[in-house]
Amino acid sequence: MNDRAVKIGSATDAYSGRLFPTEQIETFRNIDKLFPSRTISRGTSTAVSELATRALPLDDMTIETDQGDYDLYDYLARNRVTALLIAKDERIALERYEYGNTPDTRWMSMSMAKSVSTTLVGAAIQDGFIDSLEDPLSKYLPILKGGAYDGVSIRQLLQMTSGAHWDETHTDPNSERRAVLELQLAQKPGEILKYMSGLKRVAEPGTHWNYSTGETHVVGELLRAATGEYLSDYLSRKIWSRLGMESDASWWLEAPDGLEVAGSGIAATLRDYARFGHFIMNDGVIAGERILTEGWVKEAGSPREIGGQTLDYGFMWWPVRAPAGTGFEDGFSARGIFGQYMYINPARRILIVVWSARAKPLGSEVIPDNDFFNAVVKTIG
């Protein structure tokens, strides 16, 4: 991280999309200054895993969209991309840093952290800390009995089909999303879970999808209760310290020495995000040891039927459909507001990590990111 004095914005202004570009970029690469954070240790027993390079013809790629065709330079400039890494067969084909970012920069994840958190559920099941995805949440979190989450299964939580009312609008100060941000700003342990336990039920569990960052906090509480460890420590012990990461990462806390904010707040380097993405691409296996239950990655990144309709959402991962007629397999992505992505295509062995600093949480991109991902697959797949 850059040690020079920097001006960073407030968390409220950052989430509202009310920061000027330079201040926003400084804030996004210094997010551990916004809230108390816990270290995700890279450990000392594993050497850095060097990422080999292999130049591939990406400069002349064509990104086909409903609004017309674009190229790689358009994507970086128009979508205000601050760093980009593309890897094929675990070798870097392209690595770019913009707006003052460097290989040492630790950049915010935003909701990419959700996908990391649900991955830890797969590890906890493999370890025997959680018995089944069909277990009710109240088995591990008795505080949820009698509220909207009473009778909701772990599977339904991971799919965000609990039926609990939630408004995710980041820019609306009256939304539940902003209410939880205010509780995070208050830094009082346990208050977010209390708030979640008091939500109203508006649909039967499993019948309706509603995107909810609050539900990821319930995932964090579930993991803490089941494993007896903080998320950062469990992530470090099971995955981060074993992948040859270059750097420690950090994770926001709901209060000093409290629980991680499971839906956001991880800060890591571009290459370390890529190493985590390769772990997912390799089906959750490290050095021959299965860390995630068999079949977890495929289910986590696949669409499903909810309420009689196909939903492009897995276990807090987003399926990315290949264009019809191309013959390419679908991929999936972790994604966060303002344009943060880890795209993974296991069949074609392609990984893409994107950092951005877009003007607003959602909808500020000129070029649809999924169109860019599919263009990369078409070009080098």
Percent of the chain at pLDDT exceeding 90: 91
- Average pLDDT of the segment spanning 165-177: 91
The pLDDT value given to residue 214: 94
* Run of H or E including 333: strand 331-336
The two three-digit tokens of residue 246, written as one number: 């270059």
SS (H, E, C) 252-298: EECCCCCCECCCCCEEECHHHHHHHHHHHHCCCEECCEECCCCCHHH
**pLDDT of res. 236:** 98
Q: Which amino acid is at 103?
A: P
Q: What is the mean pLDDT of residues 85-96?
A: 98
Mean pLDDT, residues 185-190: 90
The single-letter code of the amino acid at 47 is: A
* Amino acid identity for residue 294 in this structure: E
Q: In this structure, are residues 252 and 192 in contact, taking their beta carbons and an 8 Å threshold?
A: no
**How many whole angstroms from its chain centre is CA 99?**
22
In order of start, what are the domains of the chain with their CATH numbers? 11-380 (3.40.710.10)
> Please, which pLDDT band fits residue 131 given cuts at 50, 70 and 90?
very high
| The two structure tokens encoding residue 313 | 């959402």
For 162, other C-beta atoms within 10 Å of its C-beta total 31
The mean pLDDT value of the chain amounts to: 95
Average pLDDT score over residue span 87-110:
98
Residue 326 has pLDDT above 90, yes or no: no
Residues with Cβ within 8 Å of 76's Cβ and at least 6 positions away in sequence, in order, are 84, 96, 98
| Average pLDDT for 52-65 | 95
Pairing of strands 340-345, 331-336: antiparallel
Q: Is the pLDDT of residue 346 over 90?
A: yes
pLDDT digits (tens, 9 = 90+) for 236-255: 999 999 999 999 999 999 99
Which pLDDT score is estimated for 1?
45
Question: In the Cβ-directed half-sphere of 295, how many Cα atoms lie within 13 Å?
Answer: 1
Helix/strand/coil for 164: strand
The pairing of strands 340-345 and 68-70 is unpaired
pLDDT at 104: 97
Please give the pLDDT value at position 308. Answer: 87
Q: DSSP label at 305?
A: E
Token readout for 286 is: 């490290």
Residue 50 has pLDDT above 70, yes or no: yes
Q: Which residue in the block uniquely carries the two structure tokens 């994107």?
A: 354
Higher pLDDT, 103 or 7: 103
Work out the average pLDDT over 6-13. Answer: 88
Res. 5: pLDDT tops 70: no
Q: Per-residue pLDDT tens for 191-235?
A: 999 999 999 999 999 999 999 999 999 999 999 999 999 999 999
pLDDT at 68: 96
Mean pLDDT along residues 160-166? 96
Span 253-272, pLDDT tens digits: 999 999 999 999 999 999 99
306 with 83: CB under 8 angstroms?
Answer: no
Query: Which residues lie below 8 Å from residue 236, measured CB to CB, with a gap of 6+?
Result: 39, 40, 41, 42, 43
Q: Take residue 92 and report the two structure tokens written for it.
A: 């870097």
- Rounded to 5 degrees, φ, ψ at 97 are -125, 135
Residue-wise pLDDT for 269-306, tens only, equals 999 999 999 999 999 999 999 999 999 999 999 999 99
Q: What string of H, E and C letters represents the secondary structure of 124-145?
A: HHHHCCCCCCCCEHHHCCHHHC
Instruction: Looking at the chain, list the stretches that DSSP marks H as alpha helix, in order from N- to C-terminal side.
Output: 11-16, 21-28, 72-78, 112-127, 154-158, 176-186, 191-197, 213-227, 231-238, 270-281, 296-300, 369-380
- Give the mean model confidence (pLDDT) for residues 98-114: 97
What's the average model confidence in pLDDT over 309-334?
94
* Model confidence band, residue 4 (pLDDT cutoffs 50, 70, 90): low
The dihedrals phi and psi of 146, each to the nearest 5 degrees, come to 90, -5
Radius of gyration (C-alpha) of the chain in whole angstroms: 20
User: Rounded mean pLDDT of 341-368?
Assistant: 97
**Beta-bridge partners for 335:** 341
pLDDT of residue 2: 47
Which tokens is 10 given?
Answer: 């407030």
